[in-house]
Amino acid sequence: MPSRNPGVAAWGLAFAWLAGYEWWALKTHHQSLSRAAWQETTAWPPLTFLAGMVVGGLAVHLWWRWNPDTTDAGA
């Protein structure tokens, strides 16, 4: 049966994949995502600022002044 909101399924799948990868990395002593982020920002500190700009830009794009009850169905 198809989901009425495929976005929820996509976010759930993304979260499950990331959690699964972290679990695997910690159990097998491979590099975790947090360790990779630490190494990258240690090598190039402006990456933290740029990542914050990307996340902030996405938040503004996705949630600023948007009301699904008053927007066209295709939006």
Q: Is residue 74 part of a domain?
A: no
H-assigned helices in the chain: 6-28, 33-43, 46-63
Taking only the tens place, the pLDDT of each residue in 9-57 is 898 999 999 999 999 999 999 999 999 999 999 999 999 999 999 999 9
Q: Is residue 68 part of a domain?
A: no
Q: Is residue 43 part of a domain?
A: yes
- Mean pLDDT (the chain) is 88
Q: Taking the CA atoms of the chain, what radius of gyration do you get in angstroms? A: 17
Tell me the two tokens of residue 10. 């996509």
**Span 53-69, average pLDDT:** 86
Separation in Å, CA 17 to CA 14, 25, 59:
5, 12, 22
Q: Is residue 13 part of a domain?
A: yes
Q: How confident is the model at residue 1 (pLDDT cuts 50, 70, 90)?
A: low
Total structural domains in the chain?
A: 1
Q: Is residue 21 part of a domain?
A: yes
Expressed as residue numbers, the domain containing 19 is 6-63
Q: Is residue 69 part of a domain?
A: no
